[in-house]
Structure 1
Amino acid sequence: MSKLAQLQPNKLWQIFEQICSIPHPSKHEQKISLWIQTWASELGLSVKEDAVGNLIIKKPATAGMESRKGVILQAHMDMVPQKNSATKHDFLVDPIKAYIITEADGDWVTAEGTTLGADNGIGLSSALAILASDDVPHGPLEVLVTIDEEAGMTGAFGLEAGWLEGDLLINTDSEQEGEIYMGCAGGLDGEAMFAIANEDVPADVESFNLSISGLKGGHSGVDIHTGRANANKLLVRFLLAASNEFELRLTELNGGSLRNAIPREADASFVISKAQVSAFKAKLAEYLTTIRQSLGSIETGIEMLLISPETFDECWTLDTQNSILRALNACPNGVLRMSDDIEGIVETSLNLGVIRSKGNKFVAMTLIRSLHDDGRLDAQTMVKSTFELAGAAIKFSGAYPGWKPDTGSALMQTVRDTYQELFNKVPEIMVIHAGLECGLFKTAYPHWDMVSFGPTIKFPHSPDEKVQIATVEQYWQLLIAVLANIPEKA
């Protein structure tokens, strides 16, 4: 038996270990979906797949609980595929290599050089563990497993009315033990497209590739307030300053990999006048010292590497280079506004998540999050103005609503009272600056009373992702106690 499978609660961790062995990045959930369907069928449970690929599994109430309100446990089956640049891993083929680490604040489960998928694999494992258990009392139970939460919320968008019968929904996609969520931010994707004009490289130049790495990255919602640096912004800031001082011409510029992850790495290829190479290297060393000093309390591992690749025949025109660098430098990033209503909560933020050269096109991808539609619109107009002033075409897509807090939620009261009974303390009632699917569920099921809670997961959407083992057991205790305390139907 593996070390993970020996953790408590056993059934949850055994299922999580199985999930880690099955590739399931966003947009590629077929293998995990098939496994869940086969697994549920072997238990004799009713399992159906809807038109977009969501799974709905139903389990009858345990004896004596038939008159309780119906509960839906909800999780998503996909994970964010992020890895360190030195890690050899194919998320479509290779299993996640999870292992246990001991730190000053307890024991954690993490993965070797990749995201772990505790977001939302632990929540999914808990829902399946309850389906598989014969000693957990519950009323009529349904488990909703959605697809593609991390890369577009396709499953939540496509959920149709009439598939589910319950009135109460418990979302398992929160990431801090002791916090119960009753609302979340909405979001909007932006994609700016520049046309790249090329020309022959000037004479007497030397070719280079410059990369920045070693940043912490993280979730562009729950980590956006931490002050972690954006690799795209740091590299562009230097390149813009250098291009104003030196005869530097870009040939390529790339950074980040997901619009909902704070970029950890970025790189650029360029040519520069041979006569200016020494001065350029001195400026680079000065810049690296500066950002290490200014960000050192948060970003402890910043590296910038300059190497000489093969020579280039073409480079961007000066107009193309100036337009792209100035727009990226001007693009808002990070926290735009804190909430006036909820202390310590981010209201509106923006993440410049991906920049990419694609042949004769250059793409910049952003993700706006806001608790309010007006905040989202304000950020959208800023991004639109910035890129259109630089000559780019920009389009927005994938808008999803926030989940408006319901201060009168009976389910919230049940969860709060149950938590206090179990742990002799009052949980924090929170609104999360991340895109939970709950807001979209209200479209098809406006009557649902919903809450979200989970164990402590640090650094989701990055290879540093880890889940605290002790909080998984606390989360499990809370979940099964809440199910036992669900009131009877009116």
Structure 2
Amino acid sequence: MTPSREIEKLEPHSVWQNFHSLTQVPRPSGKRDDITNFLVDFGKTLHLETFVDDAGNVIIRKPATAGMENCKGVILQAHMDMVPQKNAATKHDFEKDPIDAFIDGDWVRANQTTLGADNGIGLASIMSVLQANNLKHGPIEALFTADEETGMYGAIGLKNGTLQGEILLNLDSEEEGELYVGCAGGIDATVTFTHELDPIYEGDVAYKISLTGLRGGHSGLEINLGRGNANKLLFRLLKKTVAICDARLASFEGGNLRNAIPREAFAIVTIPEERHTDFLQLVAQTEALLKAEYALVDPGLSITAEETQMPEGLLPEMIQDDLINGVTACHNGVLRNIPEMPEVVEASSNLAIVKTDATSVAINILIRSSVESTKEEICSMVESTFLLAGASVEFSGGYPGWQPRFDSPILHTMKDVYQKLYNAEPEVKVIHAGLECGIIGAAVPGLDMISFGPTISHPHSPDEKVEIASVQKFWDYLVSALEKTPIK
């Protein structure tokens, strides 16, 4: 099926045309070659200085327009990769297939997959600035960072001296009319159990349990909404299944991205054949219970169990029990909000991925906090939980938060520009998601930074959509802000 091109007719034309081009370039996190080559070719076609640094970031430089040479240099920054999420029944290869984006009323969404508006609209807007010959701006550096969604590796690898600008405009926020001046830091926890498989019991039957239909979402932006975590909920059922039906766990697979709330999880269990009626009743009862608990936030929740092929082996009973108890006990969700800003999450954890194979169980948890000591507290909680369960725990990929600077010159400029454009005050906020600003600011000391963007709903899930009208406002705001860049 050929993807629709209807979004190219939307305003502003250049942004939507560039965004459509980006939807045709596969760019899931970790697969950067296609998008890197696309952006390098783009910059060179415009005869602009273009290069790739050692961390895989693409940098394109555009000189100031006439009369703007004395303005401070502006770094326009967005990340190249997108979150590859689809429902289990959807056939889509994110490494090969284009995204099928279409207009749905006031929004643009994709056909059963993530749209990639996070951070594709930011990318497309920067491309439009680089293309335009009718804008007023000082020196521009486009910084397209690599693998933000899987660990911010491009930003982490950025070397001091690579960039020349003094102001960073991060175009990776997701609510028009909001200016972000701070964000949480984060760290990854990897939990590992090792084992050898036990043999199958004679007289047992195998079932595949599927927990699907959750809304999921961004584990920074939407962790406060109380949505179900597929891993936690399925292990809740597994604990009862083992206790009541003498079940044995053969395999588990839930979640696939560290920064997405897991929407689906699947387990294969064996049970004595004479317990299959009790088992099916337990599954049905648990589904009804969870559907009632999550009726408002996850109305599509579904749990099914169907007979399946007998697995090759079972997790050892001790490993099985330790895993179930560990996941059940592990903290997930919001730990606390910022006392001075009660509407903003201070600290959280996302039990993102659980996956078994023939020799091990791997669990990935993303921990976030805007306070370093609280981040350390959650790390200690997670570590203690799984050390007691007999697993090994490692922490990696830690990155700093971004401390707000409310006297920032670029914040003053951006507030003034918004007021004059829209006769309204933008909201100044701190975000719980992990923006790259903190990392880039550490690599380039003294940067004056701000983050803003159009309205994007449900990023990191197949429900992702971007509001059409907000893209026009975002573009107009960006163009006006560049024209008002402070003088050196």
What one-letter code is carried by the residue in structure 1 that aligns with 2:433? A
Deviations 1:87-144 (A, max 9, x none): 1111111111111101xxxx11111111111000000110110110011110111111
Aligned counterpart, 1:91: 94
Give unpaired runs (5+ residues) of structure 1: none
Question: Which has the higher mean CA deviation after the structures are superposed, 380-389 or 268-277?
Answer: 268-277
Aligned counterpart, 2:423: 424
Deviations 1:278-328 (A, max 9, x none): 112112111111111111011111111111111235222221111000000
Aligned counterpart, 1:448: 447
Give 1:7's match in structure 2, choosing from 10, 32, 49. Answer: 10
Distance (whole Å) between structure 2 residues aligned to residue 5 and residue 214 of structure 1: 32
Is the partner of 2:209 in helix, strand or coil? strand
Give 1:62's match in structure 2, choosing from 65, 72, 79. Answer: 65
Is the partner of 2:385 in helix, strand or coil? helix
Distance (whole Å) between structure 2 residues aligned to residue 76 and residue 128 of structure 1: 13
What one-letter code is carried by the residue in structure 1 that aligns with 2:61? K
Is the partner of 2:280 in helix, strand or coil? helix
Aligned counterpart, 1:29: 32
What one-letter code is carried by the residue in structure 1 that aligns with 2:194? A
Contact 2:213 2:263 in 1 (8 A): yes
C-alpha deviation, 1:49, in angstroms: 1.2
**Normalized against structure 2, the TM-score is what?**
0.98
Aligned counterpart, 1:375: 374
Contact 2:410 2:486 in 1 (8 A): no
Change (3 A) 1:59 1:237: same
Contact 2:61 2:140 in 1 (8 A): yes
Contact 1:174 1:453 in 2 (8 A): yes
Question: Which has the higher mean CA deviation after the structures are superposed, 311-320 or 232-241?
Answer: 311-320
1:468 equivalent to 2:471? Answer no
What one-letter code is carried by the residue in structure 2 that aligns with 1:218? G
Contact 2:283 2:305 in 1 (8 A): no
Question: Which has the higher mean CA deviation after the structures are superposed, 285-294 or 345-354?
Answer: 285-294
Distance (whole Å) between structure 2 residues aligned to residue 68 and residue 200 of structure 1: 71
Aligned counterpart, 2:299: 300
Give unpaired runs (5+ residues) of structure 2: none
1:387 equivalent to 2:390? Answer no
Deviations 1:148-186 (A, max 9, x none): 111111110111111221111100000001110000010
Contact 2:31 2:95 in 1 (8 A): yes
What one-letter code is carried by the residue in structure 1 that aligns with 2:389? A
Aligned counterpart, 1:485: 484
Is the partner of 2:75 in helix, strand or coil? strand
Question: Which has the higher mean CA deviation after the structures are superposed, 201-210 or 42-51?
Answer: 201-210
C-alpha deviation, 1:343, in angstroms: 2.6
How many residues get paired? 485
What one-letter code is carried by the residue in structure 2 that aligns with 1:316? L
Distance (whole Å) between structure 1 residues aligned to residue 160 and residue 103 of structure 2: 41
**Normalized against structure 1, the TM-score is what?**
0.97
Contact 2:251 2:269 in 1 (8 A): yes
1:45 equivalent to 2:44? Answer no
What one-letter code is carried by the residue in structure 1 that aligns with 2:82? M
Question: Which has the higher mean CA deviation after the structures are superposed, 10-19 or 34-43?
Answer: 34-43
Contact 2:159 2:443 in 1 (8 A): yes
Is the partner of 1:150 in helix, strand or coil? helix
Distance (whole Å) between structure 2 residues aligned to residue 176 and residue 321 of structure 1: 43
Aligned counterpart, 2:458: 459
Of all paired residues, the percent bearing the same amino acid is 45
Distance (whole Å) between structure 2 residues aligned to residue 122 and residue 223 of structure 1: 20
Aligned counterpart, 2:111: 112
Aligned counterpart, 2:19: 16
Distance (whole Å) between structure 2 residues aligned to residue 261 and residue 39 of structure 1: 31
C-alpha deviation, 1:190, in angstroms: 0.6
Is the partner of 2:15 in helix, strand or coil? helix
Question: Which has the higher mean CA deviation after the structures are superposed, 275-284 or 453-462?
Answer: 275-284
Aligned counterpart, 1:289: 288
Contact 1:197 1:320 in 2 (8 A): no
Is the partner of 1:200 in helix, strand or coil? coil
Question: Which has the higher mean CA deviation after the structures are superposed, 224-233 or 315-324?
Answer: 315-324
C-alpha deviation, 1:355, in angstroms: 0.2
Deviations 1:52-111 (A, max 9, x none): 111111111111111111111001111111111111111111111111101xxxx11111
RMSD: 1.1
Deviations 1:361-389 (A, max 9, x none): 00111000100111110000000000000
